[in-house]
Structure 1
Amino acid sequence: MEVKLLSGALGAEISGIDLKDSSKENYKKINNLLLEHKVIFFRNQDITHNEQIALAQNWGPLENHAYVKGLNNHPEIVRIVKTKEEKNQWGENWHTDVSYNIKPTKAVILKSIKIPPVGGDTCFSNMELAWETLDEEIKKKIKDKKAIHSSLGAEFFIDNYKGMSGHEKRNYDEYSNEHPIVRTHPETGKKILYVNWTYTKQIIGLDKIESDEILKKIFEHQARLDLTCRFNWTENTVAIWDNRSVIHYAIADFYPGRGLGHERIMDRIAIEGDQPH
């Protein structure tokens, strides 16, 4: 096994592990890498839908997406499609998946099916490191506070994509939940800065103006380049990320008018998480 770090902050590309092997022994090895690096990548993994599902089930029960139905024969898998004509891509903007749920996603396993010759990288940012490096004055203001996470941020993800129309969309309805701004990782005990630009709307106990000011500073801090890594996809690559510890951003540098209109297809499986505390 070889581990190639993607940046000083987080992320590693792993070689020498076969993801067709869904044994507990292989899972423990992969999960240890995941806890250490937060997001890990495996190239040249031509796994089937059933093999992707078997791998994911090691982490726990699989999650059905709140707004987008999965594949007909594999409802656990959401196929993410960007057509050649579209300039947007599902997952744009910094976010952690479904943080508006009572129990947000634990981890995501994403497999690339079709990748454009240029564009479509994904960035990840380390929220444990974001908490460690956060301004001390802001830390004092948000200590023991909670924030509201609203599903309204997901509206952009489901209404803007013609290529996703092959999946029957669930009825869209807004709902929200409150989570600690600083959560504790259930496996490592590490502190995590648990807000994100897409879904976090207000800090409870502060007026809207002060809340907006603090959140703006936090969101800018989370996007600092020294907290991030960037991954360039190839086909049949599998990414696994700890959704509790990172935020991510799917870069939509597709410009059909400049000859950069490319199709991009990914298969996503999410594992149910626990209630942040």
Structure 2
Amino acid sequence: MIDVKLLSGALGAEISGIDLTDVSDENFKTINNLLLEHKVIFFRNQPLTSEQHVALASKFGPLETHAYVRGLSEFPEIIRIIKKPEEKTQWGEGWHSDVSYNEKPTKAVILKSIKIPPVGGDTVFSNMELAWETLEEEVKNKIKNKKAVHSSLGGGFFLDKYKAMQSNGNMDEYSNTHPILRTHPETGKKILFVNWTYTKEIVGMDKEESKEILNYLFEHQARLDLTCRFKWTENAIAIWDNRSVQHYAIADFYPNKGLGFERVMDRIAVEGDHPQ
């Protein structure tokens, strides 16, 4: 029997009673329906092999390789995210929607925990459909037909702080332009599609006004009532709809707490579409 435990009123649910090694069409339909409803879903005690991880992710669509980070040798679609014991930073710090700088930003991410510190390193998610719904009408009218520039920030952003993360040879910075208000291709819901990490300016707007509006939007997106928080355990799986949510990997690795422990995660991303 499937059990769904809500993590907050805004989004997120922890699911039990589903075997993620079952990649039948029927099981995938159940998983995808839960994802569309809750935006991010979590499963514990799912010790997937790399082959099973890839098989699950492939049900969502074609798999991405990262623009800057080298994947596993046998599974190039899998990025192994490693925080070394002495490192105080964490890959994915700061509010963001994964690779929003791509021409076709990621559709979904399937993240598996391999090694977890005793404390620290939770991940927070925020619902960008609610972020749009709760904006003031005056702000909505000002931005609903605008586009924004998203920058990749270059390879150093993803590699310099993390000793165990390896470059695939590309270090160039590039950007793409996307609508600030996008429509979810499966549900038709409206989504506020800018983020603090990668969105740099609003096209055709005075730089100061653009900066002021974006900063307002970034603060709005981080409202606690739009979020949920997940505490990782080993062999947990998170699947999130990257079109509808942002996330923040918390680097609370302080002395005598999470610092001094390694954190290892395997990430697979599914190719998305052109935001409309």
The CA RMSD measured in Å over matched residues stands at: 1.2
The answer to whether 1:230 aligns with 2:229 is yes
In structure 2, distance between residues paired with 1:63 and 1:71 = 13
5 Å-filtered alignment, 1:167-246, equals 167-246=166-245
What is the identity, as a one-letter code, of the residue corresponding to 2:198? Answer: Y
In structure 2, distance between residues paired with 1:259 and 1:110 = 20
5 Å-filtered alignment, 1:104-115, equals 104-115=105-116
Contact 1:153 1:198 in 2 (8 A): no
Unaligned runs of 5+ in 2: none
Contact 2:119 2:258 in 1 (8 A): no
What is the identity, as a one-letter code, of the residue corresponding to 2:193? Answer: Y
What is the identity, as a one-letter code, of the residue corresponding to 2:23? Answer: S
Q: TM-score normalized by structure 2? A: 0.97
Deviation at 1:258, TM superposition (A): 6.2
- 1:135 aligns with 136
- 2:97 aligns with 96
Structure 2 CA distance for partners of 1:106 and 1:116, relative to 1, 3 Å: same
- 1:40 aligns with 41
In structure 2, distance between residues paired with 1:95 and 1:78 = 17
Deviation at 1:11, TM superposition (A): 0.1
In structure 2, distance between residues paired with 1:31 and 1:259 = 33
Contact 1:86 1:256 in 2 (8 A): no
- 2:163 aligns with 162
What is the identity, as a one-letter code, of the residue corresponding to 2:272? Answer: G
- 1:51 aligns with 52
5 Å-filtered alignment, 1:146-157, equals 146-152=147-153, 155-157=156-158
Q: TM-score normalized by structure 1? A: 0.97
In structure 2, distance between residues paired with 1:47 and 1:71 = 16
Q: How many positions carry a matched residue from both structures?
A: 275
In structure 1, distance between residues paired with 2:103 and 2:158 = 20
The 10-residue stretch of structure 1 (151-160 or 121-130) with the greater mean CA deviation from structure 2 = 151-160
What is the identity, as a one-letter code, of the residue corresponding to 1:243? Answer: N
- 1:24 aligns with 25
* Counterpart secondary structure, 1:32: helix
- 2:145 aligns with 144
Which has the larger helix fraction? 1
Contact 2:89 2:251 in 1 (8 A): yes
